[in-house]
Chains A and B, each alone.
Chain A
């Protein structure tokens, strides 16, 4: 009975990092506040989330209600603008501010769900490729190379052109075409994890492959995974906007920032605000996510470098 006690003592003495773990929320908050950009990013992300969640209560107007008498009203500070429509109205007289609030819902929904799909595929592919090696690894990696050779926005566009646009298909297609980054990075990490003692020990003890992958590999690649996933939400939101802008993404009457931008393009000459504000909304949102993702990378995973330097 004395041995475990001794061991316990040793642990408390020799493991100060574990002590820190007790107050992990505090630690994270401290780390976050140390980084100005990280704090700023989190602030923006929370703000956009709240906007999306409370859009029906905040929005002063129905975002889809046409009002041709009020069309192309400028924002309140410009000449002829009023507080009735603080960011002006679009070509159908719809309130820009309300539409931007609702647009946040679509952007976040598409961005996050598509990343979850892509991340799941990429995580599975990367772990399988790294763990089994050999032919399976080769096969998966050649698929990765092939997907890397076709710009993902191009592939998405082509598939959407074939199966038809719409939110559900958009999410699915963005998920299927963006898995490659996860697979490459996860595979790289698994290759080195595989050589570590705890994995070797587990496999010598006869733990089956699936359990090793779930219990040992997934948790250990998770920090890199979460970094790529966060940054990918930003790129996915931009892709969604680009596809909607090209008419292949979210279809009206559903509101998306990319679609709003696209209709604003035709009124650029005398109604600058219709194209300006949706783009600003996209930029601010992605900026927040990138700041947050960069901070997460610095904290969780100093090894991963966004810049790919060969393989």
Chain B
């Protein structure tokens, strides 16, 4: 196990290198940030001085390696709109996004797993058709539209939930449903197929022929075994979750990383953009890594090579 983990971690090094390279090149090609940072009446000398201070007069590869060694030390440069280290600002906003992410995951799994199991048990019935159709609609619906429709119904027409902002659990409900629905579609589909597969296994048939009651067959035998791929796919949704959070946070004015990032893109505050992309990539990689390990821990049939 530990040698497997070590090997996977070593494999991640080139990936991290490529990510830093992508993040850096993006900004390199964005053009000279100096003009944005200095006041309009800056002289030529001021500009040249600033360029030298930021290493911008060096060739690409030197700039890149300087940047990389800074990143490894946790230095993403200063944000010019906040006048603070970019990483600090990003980390300050991160908890709000994590809070939203966890709430959305709870919504997604809470909807998907029971629905997936239910439709598997009622295979090919009308219930199954409805649930499966519902998951496809959940997948087809853009989450920002769902968010707006939820605001329309629950905030504008019924006025039972706040339109946007943060602070109470009520503020969390609509964004979490918005973000959770799209993800739950994937999880529900997998739960259904995994449950169907498990129900066809020999040990289920044996349990049935031994006269064990339906309830324990479903919950003790089938459910627990079919959850293994569900756990992994759930952890692997981090990528989709963060992608969705970008838009969801904008709609609900949720003060997380997504909102910060979009504001930074509009303001061309590249230090923040770079730091956010990097932090997001690390989180996704970490979650996928955990998913991989979990999969192998939960299912002893899978051997670690």
Contact = CB atoms under 8 A, between A and B. Distances in A.
A152 B295 CA distance: 25
B232 interface: yes
Nearest to A156: B243
Interface stretch (B40-48, B55-63, B134-142): B134-142
Given A148-B284, A238-B142, A307-B186, A153 B246 contact: yes
A145 interface: yes
B78 interface: no
Nearest to A288: B140
Contacts of A159: 26
B171 interface: no
Interface string A121-160: 0000000000000000000001101101111111101110
Interface residues of B, number: 57
A284 B186 CA distance: 18
B71 interface: no
A309 B232 contact: yes
Interface string A221-251: 0000000000000100010011001111000
A287 to B, nearest CB: 4
A183 interface: no
Contacts, number: 153
B284 A157 contact: no
Interface string A252-294: 0000001001001100110010011011001110110011001
A60 interface: no
Interface residues of A, number: 50
Contact of B136 (A148, A157, A287): A287
B265 A248 contact: yes
B189 A161 contact: no
B156 A308 contact: no
B251 to A, nearest CB: 8
Nearest to A284: B140
Nearest to A309: B229
A245 B229 contact: no
B16 to A, nearest CB: 8
B64 to A, nearest CB: 15
Interface in B148-181: 148-149, 151-152, 156
Nearest to B274: A158
A151 B22 CA distance: 13
Nearest to B281: A149
B123 to A, nearest CB: 16
A13 to B, nearest CB: 36
Given A276-B152, A308-B236, A310-B292, A149 B285 contact: yes
